[in-house]
Amino acid sequence: MKRLVRMIVSRTTFILVLLLAQIVLFLVLIDYVSNIGDWSIAFYAVSIIIVIYLIAKEENPYYKISWIIPILVFPLFGGLFYLFYRQRNLSSTIIQRHLNIDSSRKDYTDTFENKLQTKKSIYLENQNWPTYSNTKTEFLGSGELMFERMLEDISKAKKYIFLEFFIINQGQMWDTLLALLKKKMSEGVDVKIIFDDFGSSTLPFRYVNKMKKMGIDAINFNPMRIHLNFAMNYRDHRKIVVIDGNVGYTGGINIGDEYINKISPFGHWLDAGIRLEGEAVWSLVISFLENYRFVGKKDVDYNHYKGHKSKESDGFVAPFTDTPLDRELTTKNMYLHLISSANTSIDITTPYLIIDNELNTALKLAASSGVKVRIIIPYVPDKRIVYMVTESYVPELVEAGCNVYRYEPGFIHSKMMIIDSNKAMIGTANLDFRSLYLHFENSVFLDGCKTIQEMTTFFDETVEKSICVTQTSKKNIIYRLIQIMLRGFAALM
C-alpha cells in the first residue's frame, strides 16, 4: 500500500499526467487545424515523408516497424507526433560536448598496454578502454552481499567516494549508506554522487539540493521536464562505486530496499555484481568522471583521483561504458562478439529479454550449431506489459534449441553473460532496447579469471531454483494477440 501511495504522489506520476494532457491537447489541436483549412493534406504529406525516411534510414528494423505502423494507422497526426517525440531532447552542442569528453579518454588510458589480443579486447581498445591484468576480481552473487562489501570498503575510504546509480530510493538501504557517508565526510573524505532524475523520481522534490547542504557533491542526471520528448530516453542506468581509486564496484543493484530484500514486492530479488581492486578501477574512475564532467559542466583533473594499487590476477579485466550519443552500440556489439565466439556454452541472466533481430538470430544460430544456450528470466515480473513482450521471444528461442528458465522464487535482476565458462560480461545492461540503444550503461568484460567459475556456479545454482520453459507452454489466443501487438512497439518500451 505504501509503495502504491509513493508511486501516486511521485514526481514521475505528476509529470506523466501532464505529459498525457499535453498529448491530448496536441491531438485536439491537430484535428482542429485540419478542419479549418487544407492543412490535412500537409499533415498527410508529412506522414508519408516520415515513412519514406524511416524506410531509407539505416536503423534497426524493429524501430522502423514501431513507428511506421502507428504513422500509417494515424496518418493525420502520426508524422508530426514522430517529429515531436523522436526529436532528441539534447542539443547538438550538448551531444558534441559529450563526444569531446569521450575522445579525451585516450589521454588517460594510453599508458596501459593491452596484453590480450582478441577481437573483443581490440574492439574495446579502439574505444580507449584498456584491458588490465593487475586486478583482483570478486563476484558478488546477491544484492545483500554486494551492499555489505561496499559498506566495508566505504568505511575505509581516506580520500574520496564516487557513487553513480540509476535509482536512489529512501529506505533502510539509503539511510544506512547516507549515515556512513556523513561520517566519512566528517573525516574529510570527498563524496560525489550522480543519480538519474527519472529513476530516482520517488525522492522528495529538489532532493539534490538537500544532498548538497549535507556536503555531498551531488548531480541529478538529465532532470525531467514537461514536454513531449521529456527525456524518457537517455537515462543514466549505470551503477558505479569507487573508493580512493583502488576499489570499485558495478552490477545490477541500485539503492533501494528491494535490492537487498528488505522489502519483497516481486518475491525474492536476485541480483549480482562484481568488486574490482587494482589497476582496472582506473576505468571506473574515468567512467564516473566523464559523466561528472558532462552533466556538471566542470573541469576535472582525472589524475588527482588515480589509485595506486596493483593486485596479482589470473586473467584480464576490461571495464567500459556505453552511451547512446555516439551511435556505437558498444554493449550490443560486445554481446554479439561473445555469442559468436562461443564453442560449448552461453549462459545469460537478464530481467528483460526484448532483443533485436541480430541478437535473436545470433542466439538461435548458436543453439542450432550445438552450443548449449541457457537463459534465466524472472518468474515474477516487475512490469507486466514489458514481461509479456519478454515472454513472446521465448517460444522461438526454445524451438531453436535454447533452454529458457524462469527464476521461481521471484525476480532476477542480474545482468550476466558467460561464454564457455572462461569469458564473461557483467554490469548494468539488460537485454532490451533501452539498455542497448537508449541508456548510458557500464559493464566489465572478463577473460580467464577464476571469478568466471564463481559466476558459472551461481548460474547453475540459480537454474536449480528455476522452472524450465517448454514448447508446450501455451497462452490463450487473446493473450498472444496482445503480445504480438506489444512486440510491434518493443523498441519504444
- Cα 113 from Cα 130, distance rounded (Å): 7
The domain spans of the chain are 2-86, 92-115+134-313, 330-492
Q: Which residue has the cell 566523464?
A: 290
> CA of 284: how far to CAs of 88, 323, 332, in Å?
27, 15, 20
CATH architecture classification, 92-115+134-313? 2-Layer Sandwich (3.30)
Candidates 163, 444, 442, 194; CA nearest to 322 is 442
User: In terms of Cα–Cα distance, which of 70, 126, 131, 48 is closest to 319?
Assistant: 131
User: Which H/E stretch holds residue 293?
Assistant: helix 281-296
Is residue 329 a contact partner of residue 436, using CB atoms and an 8 Å limit? yes
Phi, psi (5° rounding) for residue 168? -125, 115
Catalytic residue among 420, 432, 439, 447: 420
- Which residue type, as a one-letter code, is found at position 428? T
> Which string of b and e fits 441-454 if b means at least 16 CB within 10 Å?
bbbbbbbbbebbeb
C-alpha cell at 229: 520528448
Annotated active-site residue in 102, 236, 244, 356: 244
> Of the residues 120, 192, 413, 439, which is catalytic?
413
Per-residue pLDDT tens for 355-407?
A: 988 999 999 999 999 999 999 999 999 988 888 888 889 999 999 999 999 99
Rounded distance, CA 161 to CA 128, Å? 24
Between CA 250 and CA 428 the distance in angstroms is 7
134 closest CA partner among 120, 113, 149: 113
To the query of whether residue 196 is one of the catalytic residues in this protein, the response is no
Residues lower than pLDDT 70 in the chain: 1-16, 18-19, 22-23, 26-27, 29-38, 58-62, 85-90, 111-117, 225-232, 471-474, 488-493
Is 415 a residue of the active site?
Answer: yes
Which grid coordinates are listed for 483? 503480445
Distance of CA 156 to the CA centre of its chain: 29
CATH superfamily, domain 330-492, is: Endonuclease Chain A (3.30.870.10)
237 is catalytic: yes
244 in catalytic set: yes
Residue 200 amino acid letter = S
Of 426, 460, 457, the C-alpha closest to 443 is: 426
**Active site includes 420?**
yes
Q: State pLDDT tens for residues 291-318.
A: 999 998 888 999 999 998 788 888 999 9
Query: d(Cα 58, Cα 70) in Å, to the nearest integer?
Result: 20
The C-alpha cell 514501431 sits at: 66
The DSSP string of 366-393 is HHHTT-EEEEEEESS-SSHHHHHHHHHH
Q: What grid cell was written down for 248?
A: 570499485
The 8-class DSSP code of residue 206 comes to T
Burial of 1: CB neighbours in 10 Å, binned 0-12, 13-18, 19+: exposed
Task: Using the structure block, give the residue that is written with the C-alpha cell 511521485.
Answer: 10
Q: Is 152 helix (H, G, I), strand (E, B) or coil?
A: helix
* 236 noted as active-site residue: no
159 burial level (CB within 10 Å; 0-12, 13-18, 19+): middle
- Decide whether 92-115+134-313 matches 330-492 in CATH topology: yes
CB of 440 within 8 A of CB of 291?
A: yes
The C-alpha cell 541529478 sits at 220
pTM tops 0.85: yes
Choose the catalytic residue: 415, 423, 432, 447.
415
Q: Which of these is catalytic: 120, 184, 239, 423? A: 239
The pLDDT of residue 375 is: 98
Give the active site residue among 120, 136, 237, 439: 237
pLDDT at position 71:
84
